[in-house]
């Protein structure tokens, strides 16, 4: 666990550095905008993971947000604030429909249903050609706008995603620190014990999952208006696994884990982006982390120094049985 005083300092320094990125030029703006998108995705998976639910289909909800927002803006000229919200809400509603039957059961049912759901959404996007243009890809998506002003330049779009990330992280952090977050944690640690104390575990798991779907939709909507081209295979199984990898490699014991994981892995894998070696790199990082550093990267300084984060870091990351 980070010491209280250091957390805000680290955050302010990180944010300050993030604001300076546009000085580096367009290439880095592009790379870092995607890093921030990945941070939103990774952090939004955390509530579900905290409840001990392995969601291996997060990219499906990103896809829903992306297509909804893109189509609303493209065909009906809906402003970005509204189209983003609609995308996120649709992702939430679909998440509720799929999650409701699956979350009442053991974790593995949910994991399998989410994996299959990625394929379902990818197929729908691919075969509903009149709406999505199928596998030819959806192009001509308008640039994002804010309060009626189009964000035409790359730096302005970059600041938009930084803003979205800050808001998302703030909300998720408040949730985690709230009574609700504690309840989720108790479900993840021992769901039968939580149930015996009167916690409605199915409802809480569903809520945590829906929160995650909402922010995955937000990330997808930004992605759609930033890249301005959507292609169903981009939202496949591999993206979903990457989001999971950010969480596990970063570390599940603390809120900053997925953020660290997303930044670290997105930047390190940048040289191989789009090739098979990207996936090879991710999977090896994942296997090595699980086998040799079960708490993730955030426990590494503690393990190395053995002083500052000491005991909390060396304690095994609690993993729910179920």
Summarize as ranges the residues that interact with another protein (CB under 8 A). 52, 54, 56, 98, 100-102, 104-109, 111-113, 115-117, 119-120, 123-124, 126-127, 237-238, 241, 244-245, 248, 276-280, 282-284, 286-287, 290-291, 294, 319-322
CA–CA distance, 30 with 319 (Å, rounded to integer): 36
Q: Angle at Cα 145 formed by Cα 143 and Cα 151, nearest 5°?
A: 65
Find the shortest distance in angstroms from Cβ 294 to another protein: 7
Checking 171-176 for CB contacts under 8 A at 24+ apart, the result is 172/43, 172/44, 172/46, 172/47, 172/211, 172/215, 172/255, 173/255, 175/47, 175/211, 176/46, 176/47, 176/50, 176/255
Q: Work out the number of other CB atoms within 10 angstroms of the CB of residue 155.
A: 14
The residue among 62 and 84 lying less far from another protein, judged by its C-beta, is 62
The residue among 7 and 283 lying less far from another protein, judged by its C-beta, is 283
**Secondary structure of residue 231 in the 3-state scheme:** coil
The residue among 15 and 127 lying less far from another protein, judged by its C-beta, is 127
Find the shortest distance in angstroms from Cβ 298 to another protein: 16
Find the shortest distance in angstroms from Cβ 9 to another protein: 32
Find the shortest distance in angstroms from Cβ 276 to another protein: 4
Find the shortest distance in angstroms from Cβ 10 to another protein: 27
Find the shortest distance in angstroms from Cβ 320 to another protein: 7
Q: Give the up-direction half-sphere exposure of residue 291: CA atoms within 13 A in the CB hemisphere.
A: 6
- Residues listed for the chain: 322
The residue among 29 and 94 lying less far from another protein, judged by its C-beta, is 94
The residue among 11 and 124 lying less far from another protein, judged by its C-beta, is 124
The residue among 100 and 173 lying less far from another protein, judged by its C-beta, is 100
CA distances from 156 to 21, 27, 41, 226 (A): 12, 14, 21, 11
Tokens 């997303």 locate to 262
């Amino acid at each position: 666990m980070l010491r209280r005083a250091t957390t805000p300092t680290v955050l302010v320094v990180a944010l300050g550095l993030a604001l300076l990125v546009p000085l580096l030029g367009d290439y880095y703006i592009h790379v870092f905008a995607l890093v921030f998108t990945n941070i939103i995705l990774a952090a939004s998976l955390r509530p579900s993971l905290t409840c001990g639910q392995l969601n291996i289909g997060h990219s499906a909800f990103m896809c829903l947000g992306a297509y909804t927002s893109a189509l609303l803006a493209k065909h009906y000229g809906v402003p970005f604030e509204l189209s983003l919200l609609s995308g996120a809400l649709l992702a939430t509603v679909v998440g509720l429909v799929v999650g409701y039957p699956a979350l009442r059961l053991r974790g593995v049912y949910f994991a399998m249903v989410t994996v299959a759901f990625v394929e379902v959404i990818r197929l729908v996007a691919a075969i509903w050609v009149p709406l999505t243009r199928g596998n030819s890809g959806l192009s001509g998506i308008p640039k994002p706008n804010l309060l009626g002003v189009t964000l035409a330049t790359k730096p302005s779009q970059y600041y938009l995603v930084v803003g979205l990330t800050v808001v998302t992280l703030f909300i998720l952090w408040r949730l985690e620190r709230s009574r609700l977050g504690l309840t989720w944690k108790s479900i993840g640690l021992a769901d039968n014990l939580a149930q015996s104390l009167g916690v409605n575990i199915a409802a809480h798991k569903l809520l945590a999952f829906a929160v995650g779907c909402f922010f995955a939709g937000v990330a997808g909507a930004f992605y759609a208006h930033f890249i301005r081209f959507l292609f169903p295979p981009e939202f496949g199984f591999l993206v979903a696994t990457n989001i999971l990898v950010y969480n596990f490699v970063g570390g599940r014991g603390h809120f900053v884990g997925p953020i660290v994981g997303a930044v670290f892995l997105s930047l390190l894998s940048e040289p191989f982006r789009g090739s098979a070696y990207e996936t090879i790199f991710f999977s090896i990082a994942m296997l090595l982390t699980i086998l040799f550093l079960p708490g993730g990267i955030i426990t590494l300084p503690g393990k190395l120094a053995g002083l500052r984060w000491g005991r909390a870091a060396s304690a095994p990351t609690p993993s729910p049985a179920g």
